[in-house]
Amino acid sequence: MAGLWVGAAALVGAGRRGRRLPQPLMRSSAVWTLKVRSERAPRGPGLRWASLGFAGLTFDKILIANRGEIACRVIKTCKKMGIKTVAIHSDVDASSVHVKMADEAVCVGPAPTSKSYLNMDAIMEAIKKTRAQAVHPGYGFLSENKEFAKCLAAEDVIFIGPDTHAIQAMGDKIESKLLAKKAKVNTIPGFDGVVKDADEAVRIAREIGYPVMIKASAGGGGKGMRIAWDDEETRDGFRFSSQEAASSFGDDRLLIEKFIDNPRHIEIQVLGDKHGNALWLNERECSIQRRNQKVVEEAPSIFLDSETRRAMGEQAVALAKAVKYSSAGTVEFLVDSKKNFYFLEMNTRLQVEHPVTECITGLDLVQEMIRVAKGYPLRHKQADIPINGWAVECRVYAEDPYKSFGLPSVGRLSQYQEPIHLPGVRVDSGIQPGSDISIYYDPMISKLITYGSDRTEALKRMEDALDNYVIRGKNKYINTKFLSDVYPDGHKLTEIERNQLLAIASSLFVAFQLRAQHFQEHENSRVPIIQPQVANWQLSVKLHDEVHTVVASNSGPTFSSYLVSQQVEVDGSKLNVTSTWNLASPLLSVSVDGTPRTVQVNVLMIYFEGSYKVHILTKLAAELNKYMLEKAAEDTSSILRSPMPGVVVTVSVKPGDMVAEGQEICVIEAMKMQNSMTAGKTGKVKSVRCKAGDTVGEGDLLVELE
């Protein structure tokens, strides 16, 4: 696996407190338990339920039409409620965590989503086979597909979500915008119809005025969205957005609207029932994004005041009631610097970021969805909904931050350890050590959530949780928490941080060398190459392209878990490194001049305020290394290699064609995102080594120029 990254941000602020709800859920770190209470079903006598289960009041068996972390999330609540679960899976997901967690599992097809998780016929057959009474769709896939909901209704199977009218109205961005206007919800200026082709897209964009946002009418999750600043970008955006929309949603219709530059993305969680009741459960701030996909969310938003929050919530509820919405849903808004807000879209499903709302309200949204689907009225009034504390969520992606900040990365997880031993930490995941990250599915593999009494505490807990989250691929370990727009050149270490990193790395190097010596001393057939009596280790340490001189004191034999107190001199600056090095642990705690640090080490990679490759040699080895020949760099201007595993969607050239620098050569799709591959120079195409439909690996040769 080439790498993984975690979205996060250096955020500051204070929390808010609201009225405390007589909660059906009580928080205990990341574990949720139920109080016993009376509940009356829509028909029949009042019954009692508890955490041991009340399946008789809802459903006996639910099929989860999804995979990964969200399938696991739904299964957890079903188990808590005493409901049996059925997992569906593709053939490559047969050993996935959600399959193991469920009571039953049914294979619905091969790896491609169109043949498995979007295969309605196979899923309907699985429902009949297992006699599931209801289906929870999670998010993505068929969660907002009205035809799927109709198929379920025809078989008397309950869809745990809104009815088909609401899905149709809100799932179509064009229709939803018209309904929002009718419900007196603020909307963004734009074209309310379907854009027919690229020429019409250009004409509409010019009329609206650049920049514009091109997006899929049936889309969501950042798929099928492009920002265009001129005619050329509009044509390219139309093509890529329509292709991504068709691939992800089976619907290539697009709309165009004015792009509001530098907005905040704030959404309102709503919850409605089948009795005409609807609530807004406060907001979520989702402004930290890349490629129009959220990576960090928090609740509440530090930007909103109570008046704006109330206005947004009331408009969200007005829209929900206008379409008789009955489930959990989200109304998304763009908010400008003056707190003017505009309706963006309504997602008629459970959102990826729903855990932060659960943390500050105490509600289990999956449980509420199941209750509403069975016909129960909402248990709470608007005045009961609190803001208790603060929560932050970071999405964990199987992507390589060193390749255009996030090209997809696939492979097998060799080591995986969640930081759930820390207070106020919750991890929603669908992976385990040995899990395979596939090219066929979304790159998000887990969500890290922290909760605190205020924003400062929640963010500090997130920082600690990120430091203690171990995710390692087969070949490399990469984990960073900084975004390209905030840190375009990566996180820049201060001089103090750099010296601390070099001191820690050098101390670890000495510890590893002394451990090796320990083994060698017990092997009579080997000659020790390290002299134990050496007083100081003179080292040459390379970080990035700079070489530093480091002298580390010999703290004595270090084998498994010994206390080390070592003086390390970095470029003349002296630092004291203290730790109990347990070299078998993926997480190491260390103190540098009294400052506590948590580091992770994997071969040549060290995680310390980001991921860094540190090359350490003894002084003698560094001198000898000067005589080693370096491998000549490949001339990449004449060849085009695939930067990631994926499937070739289109090839735009053939041998003999003349191409210009920057011209598109082919398109590679990986993890449901399309990536345009371009020529590195102007020249003639010598050979084409791929065709549409081919599966390619990272580094595979695609096209060669003369």
pLDDT band at 58 (very low <50, low <70, confident <90, very high): confident
* Average pLDDT of the segment spanning 51-66: 74
CATH number of 639-705: 2.40.50.100
The structural domains of the chain, with segments of one domain joined by +, span 61-168, 189-258, 264-473, 495-517+534-626, 639-705
pLDDT band at 20 (very low <50, low <70, confident <90, very high): very low
| pLDDT over 50 at 268, yes or no | yes
Could you give the 3-state DSSP secondary structure of residue 387?
coil
Statement: 495-517+534-626 belongs to CATH 3.30.700.30: yes
| pLDDT over 70 at 404, yes or no | no
Residues making up the chain, counted from first to last: 706
pLDDT for position 72? 97
CATH architecture of 189-258: 2-Layer Sandwich (3.30)
* Average pLDDT of the segment spanning 17-29: 33
* Average pLDDT of the segment spanning 588-607: 78
Helix residue ranges, H only, 198-269: 198-208, 231-249
CATH architecture of 61-168: 3-Layer(aba) Sandwich (3.40)
* Average pLDDT of the segment spanning 543-564: 72
Give the tens place of pLDDT for each residue, 288-305: 887 778 889 999 999 999
Task: Give me the residues paired with residue 329 across strands.
Answer: 270
Report CA torsion sign: 100, 102, 106, 108.
Answer: negative
Give the tens place of pLDDT for each residue, 213-254: 898 876 665 667 889 999 999 999 998 888 887 777 777 888
* Average pLDDT of the segment spanning 335-345: 90
Which residues are catalytic, by number?
A: 345
More confident residue, 87 or 188: 87
pLDDT for position 277? 97
CA angle (70 as vertex; 294, 273 as ends), nearest 5:
90
pLDDT band at 45 (very low <50, low <70, confident <90, very high): very low
Report CA torsion sign: 454, 459, 464, 465.
Answer: positive
pLDDT for position 464? 92
CB 667 within 8 A of CB 676: yes
User: Considering only CA atoms, which of 431, 243, 421, 261 is closest in space to residue 336?
Assistant: 261
Q: What is the pTM of this model?
A: 0.72
Q: Cα–Cα distance between 642 and 640 in angstroms, integer?
A: 7
Type of residue found at 450? T
Fold of domain 264-473: D-amino Acid Aminotransferase; Chain A, domain 1 (3.30.470)
Q: What is the DSSP string of 457-482?
A: HHHHHHHHHHHT-EEEESS-------
